[in-house]
């Protein structure tokens, strides 16, 4: 595949903060398309998928917007599946992280893929374990077959990933029950302590080694995995995150693997940002993941 397809998903229903629906525009204004075509890719941007506007969904609020999120994830799934079938590498521009239920489902429709999930959080809550009820904190659990059946069964019935297909990097903020669930799951997660002690290069190489049973890699990049001092434009900040340099190194090592086939860029909230800095950094990280190098 030498074509990249950009897919906007202005979904903000998985959490409470307004503004994350503006993420796709922020990435476009930061020059994502031009940056990738400058690397030699054919890039097409299919615009934004249809997402219901929160302001007209009053009655769904009690249900945490579950019906609408399910519907959007179905649409994202089909867009991801079509992109892969047509030989494109999709980049899903969020939107909040609940979108990944559709994107990762869609790109694994025909063939399995491994996933590197960069995040401060585990997104491993179920409706029972979640203290907030926000569905963006349940996305990974749904992909592994747990939680709302409406989300587990998006696109095709059941889990979309095996425990061994997924690696979390950047963890530092887990809810009490979520922490227990994650430990019991057997999912490999690298915490900030791991990164501090061992360095990002060692962790990136080890993570890719653990995922070597798959020939295709999806990166799910939640910008809150980075340090909020560097990327202030996110809704659920946690201090002490991945530095810009560490994130660049991770993306460059991912590029070296030659396995990257699809990506999510989620949780950018331009309203909370300084002059679109977060989207600009996201564009640079995406370029590195797709092969940009300094020299
Ligand atoms: N763990 C928290 C929750 O479930 C935060 C999730 C943040 C996801 N970006 O609400």
CB of residue 165 inside a 6 A radius of ligand 1: no
Distance in Å, CA 131 to ligand 1 centroid: 9
Query: 95: which residues sit within 8 A by CB, 6+ positions away?
Result: 8, 9, 10, 11, 12, 20, 21, 23, 24, 51, 266
Q: What is the mean pLDDT of residues 223-252?
A: 98
Q: What is the mean pLDDT of residues 31-55?
A: 97
Shortest-distance atom of ligand 1 to CA 222: 9
Active site residue 123: yes
Active site residue 12: no
The domain locations on the chain are 3-289
Catalytic residue among 12, 96, 123, 227: 123
CB of residue 97 inside a 6 A radius of ligand 1: yes
Distance in Å, CA 109 to ligand 1 centroid: 27
Q: Which strand ranges, in their side-by-side order, compose the sheet holding 3-9?
A: 42-48, 3-9, 88-94, 260-266, 217-222, 114-118, 166-171, 188-191
pLDDT digits (tens, 9 = 90+) for 170-216: 999 999 999 999 999 999 999 999 999 999 999 999 999 999 999 99
Provide CATH code, domain 3-289: 3.40.800.10
Average pLDDT over all residues of the chain: 98
Query: 71: which residues sit within 8 A by CB, 6+ positions away?
Result: 52
CB of residue 218 inside a 6 A radius of ligand 1: no
Q: What is the percent of the chain with per-residue pLDDT over 70, rounded to a whole number?
A: 100
* 57 band by pLDDT with thresholds 50, 70 and 90: very high
Q: What is the percent of the chain with per-residue pLDDT over 90, rounded to a whole number?
A: 99
Distance in Å, CA 136 to ligand 1 centroid: 6
User: Given this model, what pLDDT does residue 202 score?
Assistant: 98
* 2 band by pLDDT with thresholds 50, 70 and 90: confident
* 255 band by pLDDT with thresholds 50, 70 and 90: very high
Instruction: Give yes or no for a contact between 24 and 93, defined as CB atoms under 8 angstroms apart.
Output: yes
Catalytic residue among 74, 96, 173, 222: 222
User: Given this model, what pLDDT does residue 127 score?
Assistant: 98
Residues 260, 293, 6, 2: is their CA dihedral positive or negative?
negative
- For atom 5 of ligand 1, the residue with the nearest CA is 137
Mutate to test the pocket of ligand 1, among 11, 13, 14, 15 (most ligand atoms within 8 A of CB): 15
CB of residue 123 inside a 6 A radius of ligand 1: yes
Rounded distance between C-alpha atoms, residue 177 and residue 182, angstroms: 9
User: Given this model, what pLDDT does residue 84 score?
Assistant: 98
| Whether residue 1 has pLDDT greater than 70 | no
């Amino acid at each position: 595949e030498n074509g990249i397809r950009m897919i906007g998903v202005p979904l903000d229903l998985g959490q409470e903060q307004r503004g994350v629906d503006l993420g796709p525009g922020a990435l476009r204004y930061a020059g994502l398309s031009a940056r990738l075509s400058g690397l030699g890719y054919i890039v097409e941007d299919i615009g934004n998928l249809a997402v219901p506007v929160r302001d007209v969904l009053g009655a769904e609020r009690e249900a945490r917007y579950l019906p609408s999120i399910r519907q959007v994830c179905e649409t994202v799934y089909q867009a991801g599946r079509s992109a892969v079938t047509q030989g494109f590498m999709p980049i899903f521009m969020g939107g909040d992280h609940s979108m990944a239920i559709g994107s990762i489902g869609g790109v694994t429709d025909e063939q399995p893929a491994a996933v590197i999930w960069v995040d401060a959080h585990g997104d491993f809550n179920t409706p029972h374990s979640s203290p907030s009820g926000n569905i963006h904190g349940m996305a990974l659990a749904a992909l592994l077959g747990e939680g709302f059946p409406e989300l587990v069964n998006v696109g095709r019935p059941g889990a979309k990933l095996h425990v061994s297909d997924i690696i979390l990097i950047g963890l530092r903020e887990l809810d009490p029950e979520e922490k227990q669930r994650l430990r019991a799951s057997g999912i490999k997660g690298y915490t900030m302590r791991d990164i501090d002690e061992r360095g990002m290069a060692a962790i990136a190489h080890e993570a890719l080694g653990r995922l070597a049973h798959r020939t295709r890699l999806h990166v799910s990049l939640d910008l809150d995995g980075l340090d909020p001092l560097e990327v202030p434009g996110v809704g659920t900040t946690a201090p002490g995150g991945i530095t810009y340099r560490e994130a660049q190194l991770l993306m460059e090592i991912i590029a070296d693997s030659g396995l990257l086939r699809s990506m999510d860029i989620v949780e950018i909230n331009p309203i909370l940002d300084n002059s679109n800095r977060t989207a600009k950094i996201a564009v640079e990280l995406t370029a590195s993941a797709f092969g940009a190098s300094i020299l």
